Structure 1
Amino acid sequence: MRIAAEFDALYGARPEGVWAAPGRVNLIGEYTDFNEGFVLPLALPHTAVAAVSRRDDGVLRLHSRDVEGGVVEARVDALAPGSVSGWAAYPAGVVWALRDAGHPVGGADVHLASTVPTGAGLSSSAALEVVTALALDELYGLGLGRPELAVLAQRAENAFVGVPCGVMDQMASACATEGHALFLDTRDLTYRQVPFDLAADGLRLLVVDTRVKHALGDGAYAERRAGCEAGARALGVRTLRDVSITQLDDALRKLQGEAESVRRCVRHVVTDNDRVARVIALLDGGDPRAVGALLVEGHTSLRDDLRVSCPELDLVVEAAVEAGALGARMTGGGFGGSAVVLVESERADAVSAAVTGAFAGAGYGVPGVFAAVPAAGARRVG
């Protein structure tokens, strides 16, 4: 295994094990996870892979095949938010979060490599966190469950890295199974594996990476989260999860004295939670084609209410639907990144060509397009 050989060259010994954790793409349910709502992601075949061994001297050494520079070194007892920056903050934050929660994690040598595109809204950061958490859980015999690992990985990103993300990405990476989408209730972390074999229905789910890089730490994501929290406070509810679609009109009337951005945040979250429920009903009822219209509806809400789209993402949706796709929407945090496109299998090449042509016509770079096939969650691979 290449990564094990690289570990040996770096650290002078073979690793104790090799683990993998996937990125994810979210079918529906955006900005709902930190509102304790519903999401429907699936794991991708793209993974972060970690070769790891324990150390008994309290030293943490981190290296990535994908990033220029040498080994990043820190003492585990000196880890604190802000003490490690850049890519290394994600695995280092996991060590900190595990220790801060009282788990007896010592030093480690870690060598990482990832095929999850960065900045594409496909959760490259969650993959790094979850693969590190799973490796340390096994090596140190912590016996943690997958949801516990996901929550600790989220805490690493929230408190150590400083990105106020919800738990969807980490739960998808940790808990997804091959051939299924993960229907997750982010309030209590209960989940159901929903069979998602589009090929059997003559369908394909394309991911279009606009190659417009987004960085959720730039404040725009935090602003949307703050808007949601302000709406919940004004409505006197714990989170926007507690506002049903039938209560939305009354809720918006109550918010007439609030900033328009707050009202738009509330409208998006409540309607997107409802869209997740409607998509689940369609999949359970054997009507996946009808999901396409809900993808477009979700994109419109993300574009107009939450205002987290961008011209490239809007063009993907417009060009794909014009070319005969059943539906499309941006996915992930937005401000760039990727979109998902639901299409009849025989139309997939034509739709891909139409999107690529539209990008060329607009003077944009060539987008990346691939089919999303639901893959396995985090696991030991060597």
Structure 2
Amino acid sequence: MELNLIQDKFKSLFGTEGTMYTSPGRINLIGEHTDYNGGFVLPGAIDKAMYCKIKPNDTDKVRAYALDLEESAEFGLYENDLPSKQWAKYIYGVCREMIKKGKNVPGFDCVFAGDVPLGAGMSSSAALESCFGFAINDTYDLGFDRFELALIGQATEHNYVGVMCGIMDQFASCFGKEGSLIRLDCRSLEYQYVPFNPEGYRLVLINSCVSHNLAEGAYNKRRKSCENVTAAIRKHHSEVELLRDANLDMLREVANEVSAEDYIRSEFVIEEIQRLLDACKALKKGDYEIVGKKMYETHIGLSQKYAVSCEELDFLNDIARECGVAGSRVMGGGFGGCTINLVKNELYDGFVKRAIESYEQKFKIKPKVYDVVIKNGARRL
């Protein structure tokens, strides 16, 4: 990211200098559709981020400029001041959530830009919220900790953007740590850092550049399947509040009480929670071949049991397997987006070349390739 472009634009717009902040996008190595079932996820902050330059302006208005879009917006910070531009709602929402918690947020000038690819499942929106959350908190010394900043970002999505997201994306953006993934318990929000130093391997995302418009209805349907099975199990085991509390034996007990579809969806989630825990153990031992094996198992489960993959993602996963890639799976909600691949250094060039050529030949679309490295979370530069 060309930070001097942000600095130059800020100087030309506002005639002064400001302070620069950044917050990263994220990947999730393993643990898909486990979050709303109270399970675990394993995200990490990456070397693609949002950046903002900010300075108080002694007014009650925010003057913001989105460098990538070459658009500006000016807005107040009262509840009826919601800006019309979508990107401005994120900045406004963060300010409003802080004000609702009893803090005074005066007006400021800002310019922002980023290199988190849009629509690739790396959470550019959470990076934007966390970047401004950290910047405003630091600029005005508001006293929020990183945990509160993650919750402010999530509340911004819920209340001002209209996306009922979980906490993983904002959490990873705020708590990211170089050389570590974050094992986050989605029920208690307890977390621990798990070492991620894949010497001899690289992480690469291959973006299928497709998005099948099944996602929202299909997502809600799968969530309902999990709730149905949890309710059936709870009749026999009162301690089971979420699917995370159940095991495969409990699931088998209710096989005749739930639909075949609900059963297979829930089987995937219970297995996926265990897979994540197994992957964490392997990471602590530095066994990346086991981690990769678990990634392939996740892909098969997402494709065959949870049914959220698609032809394009399955094709990319097959190419990875044929090229001897250690691990590969669809990353994110499914129906399009990226595969995440753990690739030995010596296989990297051949795999990427073949993935691009084969995919383009079959689907007449050129996939995008993103190398990612695990980095630190939100900070002042």
SS in structure 1 opposite 2:163?
A: coil
1:77-226 map, 5 Å: 77-78=78-79, 84-199=84-199, 202-213=200-211, 218-226=216-224
- Deviation of 1:372 (Å): 2.2
Please identify, of 215-224 and 248-257, the stretch whose mean Cα deviation from structure 2 is larger: 215-224
Structure 1 residues 211 and 78: alpha-carbon distance in aligned structure 2, compared to 1, 3 A threshold = same
1:304-323 map, 5 Å: 304-323=304-323
Give the Cα–Cα distance (whole angstroms) in 1 for the partners of residues 8 and 96 of structure 2. 27
- Structure 1 vs Structure 2: percent identity of aligned residues? 36
1:1-382 map, 5 Å: 1-15=4-18, 17-68=19-70, 70-78=71-79, 84-199=84-199, 202-213=200-211, 218-236=216-234, 237-243=240-246, 247-251=247-251, 253-254=253-254, 256-258=256-258, 260-381=260-381
Runs of at least 5 residues in structure 1 that lack an aligned partner in the other structure: none
- Deviation of 1:102 (Å): 2.7
Structure 1 residues 181 and 266: alpha-carbon distance in aligned structure 2, compared to 1, 3 A threshold = same
- Deviation of 1:110 (Å): 2.6
- Deviation of 1:297 (Å): 0.8
Residue correspondences, number: 373
- Deviation of 1:337 (Å): 1.5
User: Quick check: 1:149–1:174 contact (8 Å CA) kept in 2?
Assistant: yes
Q: TM-score of the superposition, structure 2-length normalised?
A: 0.90
Give the Cα–Cα distance (whole angstroms) in 2 for the partners of residues 250 and 305 of structure 1. 18
Give the Cα–Cα distance (whole angstroms) in 1 for the partners of residues 260 and 108 of structure 2. 49
Amino acid at match of 1:355: A
Structure 1 residues 369 and 99: alpha-carbon distance in aligned structure 2, compared to 1, 3 A threshold = same
SS in structure 2 opposite 1:77?
A: coil
CA distances 1:236-288 after superposition (whole Å, capped 9, x unpaired):
44322222xxx224235436544555434422322211111000111112311
Amino acid at match of 1:293: K
CA distances 1:161-216 after superposition (whole Å, capped 9, x unpaired):
121221111111111111211222222222222221112xx222221122225789
Structure 1 residues 221 and 86: alpha-carbon distance in aligned structure 2, compared to 1, 3 A threshold = farther
CA distances 1:21-79 after superposition (whole Å, capped 9, x unpaired):
111111001122233321111111111001112344332333211225x3223221125
RMSD over aligned CA atoms reads 2.4
Please identify, of 277-286 and 229-238, the stretch whose mean Cα deviation from structure 2 is larger: 229-238
Structure 1 residues 265 and 137: alpha-carbon distance in aligned structure 2, compared to 1, 3 A threshold = farther
Give the Cα–Cα distance (whole angstroms) in 2 for the partners of residues 143 and 12 of structure 1. 29
Give the Cα–Cα distance (whole angstroms) in 1 for the partners of residues 110 and 315 of structure 2. 40
Give the Cα–Cα distance (whole angstroms) in 2 for the partners of residues 78 and 20 of structure 1. 27
Structure 1 residues 226 and 134: alpha-carbon distance in aligned structure 2, compared to 1, 3 A threshold = farther
Give the Cα–Cα distance (whole angstroms) in 2 for the partners of residues 170 and 226 of structure 1. 25
User: Quick check: 1:120–1:209 contact (8 Å CA) kept in 2?
Assistant: yes
Structure 1 residues 9 and 83: alpha-carbon distance in aligned structure 2, compared to 1, 3 A threshold = closer
SS in structure 1 opposite 2:305?
A: helix
- Deviation of 1:377 (Å): 1.1
Structure 1 residues 95 and 262: alpha-carbon distance in aligned structure 2, compared to 1, 3 A threshold = farther
Give the Cα–Cα distance (whole angstroms) in 2 for the partners of residues 313 and 270 of structure 1. 23
SS in structure 1 opposite 2:42?
A: strand
Amino acid at match of 2:329: R
- Deviation of 1:311 (Å): 2.0
SS in structure 1 opposite 2:266?
A: helix
Give the Cα–Cα distance (whole angstroms) in 2 for the partners of residues 10 and 214 of structure 1. 40
Aligned to 2:237: none
- Deviation of 1:308 (Å): 2.2
Structure 1 residues 214 and 111: alpha-carbon distance in aligned structure 2, compared to 1, 3 A threshold = farther
Give the Cα–Cα distance (whole angstroms) in 1 for the partners of residues 215 and 96 of structure 2. 19
Give the Cα–Cα distance (whole angstroms) in 2 for the partners of residues 97 and 234 of structure 1. 38
Structure 1 residues 261 and 48: alpha-carbon distance in aligned structure 2, compared to 1, 3 A threshold = farther
Give the Cα–Cα distance (whole angstroms) in 2 for the partners of residues 26 and 282 of structure 1. 16
- Deviation of 1:334 (Å): 2.2
User: Quick check: 2:83–2:92 contact (8 Å CA) kept in 1?
Assistant: no
SS in structure 2 opposite 1:313?
A: helix
- Deviation of 1:84 (Å): 4.4
User: Quick check: 1:162–1:217 contact (8 Å CA) kept in 2?
Assistant: no
Structure 1 residues 380 and 214: alpha-carbon distance in aligned structure 2, compared to 1, 3 A threshold = farther
Q: TM-score of the superposition, structure 1-length normalised?
A: 0.89
Amino acid at match of 1:242: D
Please identify, of 56-65 and 293-302, the stretch whose mean Cα deviation from structure 2 is larger: 56-65
SS in structure 2 opposite 1:183?
A: strand
Structure 1 residues 91 and 266: alpha-carbon distance in aligned structure 2, compared to 1, 3 A threshold = farther
User: Quick check: 1:231–1:255 contact (8 Å CA) kept in 2?
Assistant: no
Please identify, of 288-297 and 115-124, the stretch whose mean Cα deviation from structure 2 is larger: 288-297
Please identify, of 144-153 and 52-61, the stretch whose mean Cα deviation from structure 2 is larger: 52-61
